């Protein structure tokens, strides 16, 4: 990376936590060298041996995004996605790092599988692929993962995502280890006994369609249990894909109390409602399910007031033949990496700076990645950057999708905010919305 | 009408047209040779992913009386999961040249999904707890004809009793009854009602059920013209929907004592198959107002009317009744 060509980003608005400023950004040796207005005049033109120039007019220049919740499907489900194709989708979505969810086959419950995922990420070389690991072996909820071995190998995030940890004994023990090792447990809140056979939110729509419902209370009960366990054990917890108004309220109270809690929401949970299921399209089957406008309002307020820390995609590719089934048989999940920014800018009701905090700075802190990601655009910092147009209106089409699967829920919906350019270690890997590496 | 998927898709006028056409079909059925050539050279496939011999035979009888060729594809959903996707199955059968699929599946919405995978007409023969439109039409046909009210049920008071929550019959038949002007009361313990009817926080009323709700069968009985019993399934005990079938029968079953309290003119309906001793504690053959056998007979007439509307000459072009060759 040190011999990469220098890059000059011209005419953009640099957005940092400290504020925003109209400035050019000079990058060399993989690191930001200089940030300031009109510094481009000092450098030779590109065709005279000067730096590669990126026009960032009407664009924001900031740290690349970090996704806390990505299903890359490798190993085991390579028909739906690979670490390489998922990395391409992430790069085009403006991401510098993605946390790989451990529900692979085999699951990421051993050092060997975790190292394989990390290695495949490095091989793809587009984004930092950060493996998380299971809380329990094979996500069975029965036996604790080897926390000491995994933590020694640098794993900081643990989750049985797709399953909530049902047994309070297992969860209490896991929290004791989490406290001891200073690692973070990420819970998928779902009391499974309340959601057997469920395919959508339990409410008016499910009552009308005759589809088995996933009641909000199934999320709320586990969240409440875990907050009490946190209070007792002092462990750090991150709550995945919160979907109900009541969940936001509980996290708000817990934060006011000072518990070490963080929480994420997905773009689809604050942009789409359960009404989407009235066409029985399996693309809209997701876990937790799309809920109501009331819930969406609460999630938006939670993002705006800081109760919610991060927007995470829960990018969940599924091959067409898996989704081309009835609603009960089709697996839950939808794509998210390439649409997340467009949904966040259009539907979150947050300022540009707040969206960046939710998509980059905060998730980088939660995942412990601040050595490389989520830093201010300032001299001396590694140049993992994104350049995006915050006002560009666009629609997603199937041709744009680089994931191996096409289960996006956003075809035909208006989106706003488009990624132009991504730098990884100072090297341009996405330019004009196309991968150049 | 290209498909028959849900009662929600039918207007009052369309329902009334189908009921009138079913009158003609029952005339045909009364002939010594109850068969007409209207659907000759058409192929109707029953695609049953869930067992239902009664409904399948009713559809196949209807198709044969219209001279259509019939085929049956039976498969459990689990065998479909082993490799071939549902979509593959539908596309494969379509490629053999099918004019209409009659579909039964355990999951709501599958018939609608199928319309994306084939050009054939789709008739929903029951999808999960969602819809069973031919049941609704045959119920409406049976009741209107029994009450001699033409194509209307204006002011008729109907109590539907039982497991509304899991019932595709309830979701379709209630719609048909209400469309024709009936006043419907759902009678069930709260656990067997759709969640939106029991949780007050489900305040989004777009899909409001235009019905009254009661948890007390005895209170309702004195005030009704029709009692429509739904089948109570024993497995509902397992997920704590009911304490036991005995407890259910005691409070929500039609017992001899309750029968005695019903007005003389009342009518009794049931979509079958019946659970004797559970929802029904009397011999329906001894109930003067029972329409249960007529429901079965009329099922064939209604299904003939539906198949003819979808596949008959009038379906593709403007033809008069005479030209339809019935």
In CATH, B7-130+295-324 is 3.40.50.1370: yes
What value does the mean pLDDT take over residues B100-105?
Answer: 96
Question: Domain range holding A406?
Answer: 7-61+379-435
Share of chain B above pLDDT 70, in %: 90
Residue contact B109–A326, C-beta within 8 A: yes
Residue A371 lies in a domain: no
pLDDT of residue B82: 58
CA gap A24, A217 in Å, rounded: 50
Domain membership of residue A1 (yes or no) is: no
Token readout for A163 is: 């399953």
CATH assignment at residue A244: 3.20.20.140
Can you give the pLDDT at residue B206?
40
> Is it the case that residue B78 has pLDDT exceeding 60?
no
How many CB atoms lie under 10 A from the CB of residue A166?
A: 15
Residue B260's pLDDT is what? 93
pTM for this model (two decimals): 0.92
Whether B85 shows a pLDDT value over 70: the answer reads yes
Residue A286 has pLDDT above 80, yes or no: yes
| Cross-chain CB nearest to B207 (options A202, A204, A211) | A204
**Partners of A130 in the β-ladder:** A99
Q: Specify whether A324 is located in the same domain as A396.
A: no
Same domain as A358, residue A213? yes
- Do A45 and A131 lie in a common domain? no
CA distances (Å), A145 to each of A112, A138, A159, A183, A404, in order? 13, 8, 10, 13, 30
- With contact defined as beta carbons under 8 Å apart, do B164 and B194 qualify? yes
Domain ranges of chain B: 7-130+295-324, 133-291
Are A13 and A30 contained in the same domain?
Answer: yes
Whether residue B177 is predicted with pLDDT greater than 80 in this model: the reply is yes
* Residue A298, min C-alpha distance to chain B (Å): 15
**Separation in Å, CA A332 to CA A316, A318, A319, A322:** 8, 8, 12, 10
Query: Do A361 and A405 sit in the same domain of this protein?
Result: no
Residues from chain B that touch A204, judged by Cβ atoms under 8 A, are 196, 202, 204-208
Catalytic residue among A24, A295, A314, A425: A314
Do A89 and A168 lie in one domain? The reply is yes
Q: Rounded mean pLDDT of B132-159?
A: 98
Mean pLDDT of A118-140: 98
Q: What is the pLDDT of residues B265-281, one digit of tens each?
A: 999 999 999 999 999 99
Q: How many CB atoms lie within 10 A of CB B73?
A: 16
For residue A187, pLDDT beyond 60: yes
Q: Are residues A85 and A229 in the same domain?
A: yes
In the predicted structure, residue B321 carries a pLDDT above the cut 50: no
The answer to whether residue A373 is domain-embedded is: no
Pair (A226, A261) in one structural domain? yes
Q: What pLDDT is recorded for position B81?
A: 54
The domain tally of chain A equals: 2
Q: Mean pLDDT of all residues in chain A?
A: 97
Quick one: which H or E segment has residue A181?
Answer: helix A168-181
Q: What is the pLDDT of residue B320?
A: 44
For the domain made up of B133-291, give the CATH fold. Answer: Rossmann fold (3.40.50)
Quote the longest CA-to-CA distance of chain A: 68
DSSP state of A6: P
**Residue A304 neighbours by CB under 8 Å, 6+ apart:** A348, A349, A350, A354
Domains B7-130+295-324 and B133-291 alike in fold: yes
Asked if the model's pLDDT at residue B204 lies above 50, the reply is: no
pLDDT tens-digit map of A407-431 = 999 999 999 999 999 999 999 999 9
* B77·A329 Cβ contact <8 A: yes
Residue A41 included in any domain: yes
Quick: pLDDT tens for B33-50.
999 999 999 999 999 988
What CATH number is given to the structural domain containing A19?
2.30.40.10
Between A349 and B79, the more confident residue is: A349
Residues A218 and A333 in one domain: yes
**Which residues on chain A place their C-beta less than 8 Å from a C-beta of chain B?**
196, 199, 202-213, 215, 275, 279-282, 292-294, 321-322, 324-329
Q: Do A294 and A242 have their domain in common?
A: yes
> Can you give the pLDDT at residue A2?
41
Mean pLDDT of B64-70: 97
Are both A344 and A229 inside the same structural domain? yes
Count contacts between A and B (CB, < 8 Å): 97
Q: Above 50 in pLDDT, residue B87?
A: yes
Q: Give the pLDDT score at A160.
A: 98
Taking 60 as the threshold, does the pLDDT of residue A195 lie above it?
A: yes
């Amino acid at each position: 990376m040190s011999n990469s060509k220098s890059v000059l980003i011209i005419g953009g608005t640099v957005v940092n936590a400290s504020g925003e400023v109209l400035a050019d950004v000079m990058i060399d040796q993989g690191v930001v060298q200089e940030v300031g207005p009109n510094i481009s005049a000092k450098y030779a033109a590109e065709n005279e041996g000067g730096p590669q120039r990126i026009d960032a007019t009407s664009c924001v220049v900031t740290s690349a995004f970090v996704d806390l919740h990505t299903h890359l499907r490798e190993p085991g489900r390579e028909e739906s996605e690979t670490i390489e194709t998922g990395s391409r989708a992430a790069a085009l979505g403006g991401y510098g790092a993605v946390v790989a969810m451990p529900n692979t086959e085999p699951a990421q419950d051993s050092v060997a599988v975790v190292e394989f995922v990390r290695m495949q990420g490095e091989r793809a070389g587009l984004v930092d692929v950060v493996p998380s690991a299971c809380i329990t072996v094979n996500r069975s909820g029965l036996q604790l993962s080897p926390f000491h071995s995994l933590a020694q190998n640098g794993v900081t995030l643990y989750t049985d995502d797709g399953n909530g940890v049902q047994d309070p004994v297992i969860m209490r023990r896991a929290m004791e280890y989490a406290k001891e090792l200073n690692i973070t447990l990420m819970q998928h809140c779902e009391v499974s006994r309340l959601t057997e056979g469920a395919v959508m939110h339990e409410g008016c729509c499910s009552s009308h369609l005759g589809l088995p419902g996933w009641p909000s209370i199934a999320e709320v009960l586990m969240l409440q249990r875990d907050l009490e366990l946190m209070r007792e054990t002092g462990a750090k917890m991150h709550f995945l894909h919160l979907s109900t108004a009541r969940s936001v309220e509980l996290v708000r109270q817990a934060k006011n109390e000072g518990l070490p809690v963080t929480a994420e929401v997905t773009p689809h949970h604050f942009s789409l409602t359960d009404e989407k299921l009235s066409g029985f399209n399996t693309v809209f089957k997701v876990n937790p399910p799309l809920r109501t406008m009331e819930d969406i309002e609460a999630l938006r307020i939670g993002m705006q007031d800081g109760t919610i820390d991060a927007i995470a995609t829960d990018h969940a590719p599924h091959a067409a033949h898996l989704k081309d089934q009835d609603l009960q048989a089709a697996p839950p999940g939808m794509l998210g990496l390439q649409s997340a920014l467009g949904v966040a800018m259009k539907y979150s009701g947050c300022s540009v700076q707040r969206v960046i905090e939710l998509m980059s700075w905060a998730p980088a802190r939660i995942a412990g990645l601040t050595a490389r990601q989520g830093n201010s655009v300032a001299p001396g910092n590694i140049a993992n950057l994104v350049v995006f147009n915050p006002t560009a209106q666009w629609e997603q089409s199937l041709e744009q999708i680089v994931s191996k699967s096409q289960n996006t829920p956003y075809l035909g919906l208006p989106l706003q905010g488009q990624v132009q350019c991504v730098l990884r270690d100072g090297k341009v890997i996405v330019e004009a919305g196309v991968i150049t590496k | 009408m290209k498909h028959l998927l849900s009662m929600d898709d039918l207007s009052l006028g369309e329902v009334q047209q189908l009921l009138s056409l079913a009158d003609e079909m029952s005339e045909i059925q009364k002939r010594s040779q109850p068969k007409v050539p209207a659907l000759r050279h058409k192929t109707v496939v029953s695609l049953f992913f869930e067992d239902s011999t009664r409904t399948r035979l009713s559809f196949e009888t209807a198709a044969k009386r219209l001279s259509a060729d019939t085929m049956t594809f039976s498969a459990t959903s689990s065998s479909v999961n082993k490799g071939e996707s549902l979509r593959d199955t539908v596309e494969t059968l379509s490629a053999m040249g099918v004019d209409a699929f009659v579909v039964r599946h355990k999951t709501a919405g599958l018939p609608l999904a199928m319309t994306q995978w084939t050009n054939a007409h789709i008739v929903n023969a029951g999808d999960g707890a969602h819809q069973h439109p031919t049941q609704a039409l045959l119920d409406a046909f049976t009741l209107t004809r029994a009450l001699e009210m033409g194509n209307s049920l204006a002011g008729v008071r109907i109590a539907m009793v039982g497991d509304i929550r899991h019932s595709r019959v309830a979701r379709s038949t209630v719609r048909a009854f209400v469309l024709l002007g009936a006043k419907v009361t759902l009678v069930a313990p709260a656990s067997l009602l759709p969640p939106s009817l029991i949780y007050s926080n489900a305040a989004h009323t777009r899909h409001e059920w235009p019905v009254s709700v009661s948890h007390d069968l005895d209170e309702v009985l004195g005030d009704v013209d029709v009692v429509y019993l739904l089948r109570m399934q024993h497995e509902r005990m397992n997920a704590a929907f009911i304490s036991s079938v005995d407890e259910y029968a005691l409070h929500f079953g039609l017992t001899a004592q309750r029968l005695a309290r019903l007005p003389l003119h009342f009518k009794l309906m049931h979509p079958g198959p019946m659970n004797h001793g559970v929802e029904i504690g009397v011999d329906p053959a001894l109930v003067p107002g029972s329409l249960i056998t007529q429901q079965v007979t009329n099922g064939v007439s209604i299904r003939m009317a539906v198949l003819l509307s979808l596949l008959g000459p009038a379906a593709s072009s403007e033809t008069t009744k005479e030209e339809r060759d019935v």
